[in-house]
Structure 1
Amino acid sequence: MPKISMPTGGDVVEVILADHRWFEEALRELRDVTSDRSAVLADLAAVLIAHAEAEESKVYPSLKKKDAIDAEEVEHSEHEHDEGNEALLALMEVDDTASEEFSEKVHELSESLSHHLDEEERDVLNPARTDVSADVRKKLGDEFAAERNRLIDSGCGDITNVRKLVEASKG
């Protein structure tokens, strides 16, 4: 299992992309019946929740203010985070990591997450690359990394917190 990295900053596009590649590796591990699926899921939950929350609080508002993305793009990305959180919670609620149900829920999370990563890389990160200065991307990367790491350290991937986020999204 890839170790959870705790980046200190850098270009926000690169920091976010590093997490995206980490998510893909974690999903591969979850599909592997010989891996420690419980440990992988705990790590994935922590990074996934921290990543999404840090994007929503630090990255999206700044990119919107810089006109790199619009309100509709922000709303769409946040909606996809909510869907991913629901799929994550459904997976976390499966007791038997060796069960067919666990494999089905891994598939559902993988589908949701892969769709979101693809859209975010095309529709959010590309405009960030072209419409935002390197200095601003560095500042955003530093802020994103600090918030992401703070959330991981706070235990944001705990099932109680994931449930709270899912309930809040249903408003």
Structure 2
Amino acid sequence: MRMTDYEIPRPTSGDVVDLILDDHRLFEALLRDLRDSTADREAARAALSAVLIAHGEAEEEKVYTQLKSKRAITAHEAEHGEEEHAEGNEALLALLECKGTDTQKFDDAVEDLATALNHHIGEEEQTILNPAREDVSEQVRQDLGAAWTARRNELLDEDAGSITNVRKIVARAHKEGLLPADDEDEE
């Protein structure tokens, strides 16, 4: 596992809504550092990749499925969340593929990722986390928090944010139809 200057919090319990919101604020802080030419952009990129992939994959595996079964969210809302994760992962891959961190290409990739991420964060907080707060018991949110953090931490240990893994995740999303086929992108 590559060490960065960024300490990624590794909670093991809590209300899943609060835990997810904490990661959303971490994403925003890391994006700010990626825009800052005096920051360690390489470390910020590695940290964001690790936590973004671990967060999203654990969310799809542990949270969305449970919220659907509790009828807090619809299948459409869960699928839309997965599509937005896929779009964010594709933007992340473009950022990871930038050779340097001091180029216009890098700055553009940061902004593309920020756009995808900020849109998803806003929508998820309104259409998934609010219903989870309102329609799911405190105990279920605690149980989901424990399951989500365990999976997230496991993925962090497995270096889920490596460029190789992000490429696999993006390819899977194309195959599953969460992203358009590669030949549909160039319009």
Q: By the TM > 0.5 criterion, same fold?
A: yes
Aligned amino acid, residue 91 of structure 2: A
Indicate the SS of the match to 1:156. Answer: coil
Partner of residue 34, structure 1: 38
1:1-171 matches, cutoff 5 A: 3-171=7-175
* CA-based RMSD: 0.8
For residues 13-53 of structure 1, the C-alpha deviation after alignment (integer angstroms, 9 at most, x for no partner) is: 00000000000000000000011111110010000000000
Secondary structure of the corresponding residue to residue 38 of structure 2: coil
Rounded Cα–Cα distance in structure 2 between residues aligned with 1:98 and 1:35: 11
Q: Distance in 1 between matches of 2:31 and 2:146?
A: 26
Q: C-alpha distance in 2, partners of 1:152/1:66?
A: 28
More helix by share: 1
Point out where structure 1 has 5 or more consecutive residues left out of the alignment: none
> How high is the sequence identity, in percent, across the aligned residues?
56
User: Unpaired segments of 5 or more residues in structure 2?
Assistant: 176-187
Give, in whole Å, the separation in 2 of the partners of 1:29 and 1:133: 36
CA distance, structure 2, for counterparts of residue 2 and residue 161 of structure 1:
20
Residues of 1 paired with 2:70 and 2:130: CA distance? 14
* TM-score scaled by length of structure 2: 0.90
The one-letter amino acid of 2:164's match is T
2:184 alignment counterpart: none
What's the TM-score, normalizing by structure 1?
0.99
Count residues with an aligned counterpart.
171
